[in-house]
Structure 1
Amino acid sequence: MTSSGLRRDELAAFLRSRRARLRPAEVGLPDGVRRRTPGLRRQEVAQLAGMSIDYYIRLEQGRGPHPSRQVLAALARALLLTRDERAYLFRIAGESPPPSAGPSREVTPGLRHLLDAMTETPAYLVDAAYDILAWNRLAAWFVGDLSAVPADERNMIRWMFRQPVPEAHWNDPETLRFVRTSIADLRAAYGRWPEDPAIAALVTELLGVSPRFAELWAEHDVAERRPVVKRVAHPELGPLEFECRVLHVPETDQRLIVYVPEPGSATQAAFHRLAERVRS
């Protein structure tokens, strides 16, 4: 390691390993017929990153100058590095990783399949600003038919403070606990993503229209969401009790919220009946 924090040998090995795992088609290059080793050629990586082949070869051989942040960013793009890999590349080059652009709203196919596979468990996916991004069929019985709601209006925090409810609603200890934990989690996201326009706009809006939100926001509680037990008097299913389990998706800063009943409970039986009704 140099005095600048650059770990040349590790950087060289990492670049070689990432180059070897890529197929030309993944970066828009023809496969060719004379590839004796897997992965991209060095000149191809250099071309994709916009640098000289000699400079890139020296990086892979653990020599040459300290790569600039611009060079590292170009290499990360050329090698299709994930967010974690990009951060690692910067660190072994003696640089602090660049901040991520912001929380993701993309619903990956894996999460969509997972939601659909949970046929007897209500579940839905929210982003860091608590916009509901996806849901399964049972969740619609709790959050409504969101397919008929514009995407920019599917926000749980906004519903909490802008929908008209009886004053007694705010006197319920469980309701207040759920609201407080949601606000504390939103503030944690606000701290992680201070430049995110969606979170900033939501906070600004609610500070202006909801004195109750402003009061809770001023308490400065900060905590990522934890599981809580919820008791719900559902208009069709009757009294329900389940653990509201929050599964954090680190790579996107999303949360998968799942209503988990106790095995053998009346709530599990109610969810089963609901699933049969939905399937029929």
Structure 2
Amino acid sequence: MTTMAQETATGRTATPQTASTIRRHELAAFLRHRREHIAPEQVGLPRGTRRRTPGLRREEVAQLAAVGVTWYTWLEQARDIQVSVQVLDALARTLLLDPSERAHLFQLADANDPRPATECPVVTPALRAMLDQLDPIPACLQNGRYDILAYNRTYGMLLCDLDAVPPEDRNCMILSYTHEEWRSSIVHLEKSQRLMAARFRGSMAEHLADPTWKTLLKRLRTESPEFCEVWDRHEVMGASPRRKEFRNTHVGRITVDHTDLWLGPARGPRMVTYAPADEESRERLERLHAIARAR
């Protein structure tokens, strides 16, 4: 049998079966490490006097995550078993994983995280500083699903009071089809909806099996007959700069030029900017920024 060292020496890449085996062993080691570094008190369990295992016992993790002890033991033994996203979610919460560790867990399990993306690794302190520096030009960070990951003050008051919107609802598709204030702020709403749906369909072709994309699509089809009508047209469109008009409740009508600044491959995370298209719009955005700062 050819070893990994021999494969490396000969320049051959690992087979899919070998890659899967490597992932299982990395997952097992990661779970053991996290389990052994969590004190019982952190998850509400008594330490007791007979505890020899550092951190949590396997049966304690299994109980807290509501999975079978034997099944969890097999997982730590790198057995070739199927792991659902629901179980991975429960393990992530039980093991107190932070966002980066949670993402690592799902990657090792070769699974897609179904949790709505309210945070993203691309939202670095430097990018947040850039958003602030762009004020009074409205700007935000979005992913391919139109989740609004971060925004500056002017953007936060451009179409509605975005701070008042629950994080799980901060999605441009959801807002443009279900949020009345957001919808009323878009001058050419129907055109905007069709363009967004067409771009979303084009992006989703790469994520057809992704639970987060399927969950968003199901929610839109359930909550908006308008979306169903537009979606069933099967229109597809790529990203392109364009002019937009908004009716802001504080300063009136604003005309802007929309630009996407890509932070990775096209259809991935991007910074969205709305530069004023005329002097009147520039003055109104400055007034809106002043109102946002005074809040």
What displacement does 1:159 show? Answer: 2.0
- Do the aligned residues in 1 keep the contact of 2:187 with 2:246 (CA within 8 Å)? no
Q: How does 1:198-217 map to 2 (within 5 A)?
A: 198-217=212-231
Show CA shifts across 1:126-149 (max 9, x none).
222222111111111114343343
Please list, as runs of the form range in 1=range in 2, the aligned pairs for 1:36-55 lying within 5 A after superposition.
Answer: 55=4
1:138 aligns with one of 150, 154, 171: 154
**1:77-128 residue CA offsets vs partner (Å, 9 max, x unmatched):** 99xxxxxxxxxxxxxxxxxxxx995897514314323212212211112222
Q: Which runs of 5+ in 1 are unaligned?
A: 1-51, 79-98
Q: Is the 8 A contact 2:254 2:281 kept in 1?
A: yes
Displacement of 1:191 in angstroms is: 1.0
Partner of 1:4: none
The residue aligned with 2:189 is 175
Amino acid corresponding to residue 169 of structure 2 in structure 1: E
1:254 aligned onto 2:269: yes
Aligned residue for 1:243, secondary structure, equals: strand
2:39 paired residue number: none
Deviations 1:142-189 (A, max 9, x none): 143433432212122122222348x9x6xx982221111100111112
Closer/same/farther in 2, CA of residues 214 and 269 from structure 1, 3 Å limit = same
Amino acid paired to 1:238 = G
State yes or no: 1:190 paired with 2:204.
yes
Please say if residues 55 and 64 of structure 1, whose CA atoms lie closer than 8 Å, have aligned partners that are also in contact. no
Q: 1:234 to 1:278 in 2, by over 3 A?
A: closer
Displacement of 1:218 after TM fit? 0.7
- Structure 1 length as normaliser, TM-score? 0.59
- Report what 2:42 is aligned to: none
Q: Report the Cα offset of residue 201 of structure 1.
A: 1.6
Check the 8 A contact 1:244/1:257 in 2, yes or no: yes
Aligned residues: 201
Q: Percent of aligned positions with the same letter in both sequences? A: 25
Name the residue aligned to 1:127. 143
Question: Equivalents in 1 of 2:138, 2:175: separation in Å?
Answer: 19
Q: How does 1:56-95 map to 2 (within 5 A)?
A: 56=5, 58-59=6-7, 61=9, 63=10, 67-69=14-16, 71=18, 74=22
Q: In the alignment, does 2:174 pair up with 1:158?
A: yes
Moved more, 144-153 or 64-73: 64-73
Q: What are the Cα deviations for residues 224-272 of structure 1, in whole angstroms up to 9, with x where unaligned?
A: 232221122322212211112223332581232211113x611112223
The answer as to 2:221 corresponding to 1:232 is no
Q: Compared with structure 1, are the counterparts of its residues 145 and 164 closer, same or farther at alpha carbon in structure 2 (3 Å cutoff)?
A: closer
Q: What is the CA distance between 1:202 and its match in structure 2?
A: 2.0
Match of 1:113 in 2: 129
**Partner-residue secondary structure (3-state), 2:201:** helix
- Residues 196 and 60 of structure 1, relative CA distance in 2, 3 Å threshold: closer
TM-score, scaled relative to structure 2: 0.57
CA distance in 1, matches of 2:154, 2:222: 34
**Structure 1 vs Structure 2 CA RMSD:** 3.6
Paired residue type of 1:160: S
Q: Relative to structure 1, is the Cα distance of residues 174 and 164 closer, same or farther in structure 2, using a 3 angstrom cutoff?
A: closer
Distance 1:259 1:236, change over 3 A: same
**Equivalent residue runs for 1:1-16 within 5 Å:** none
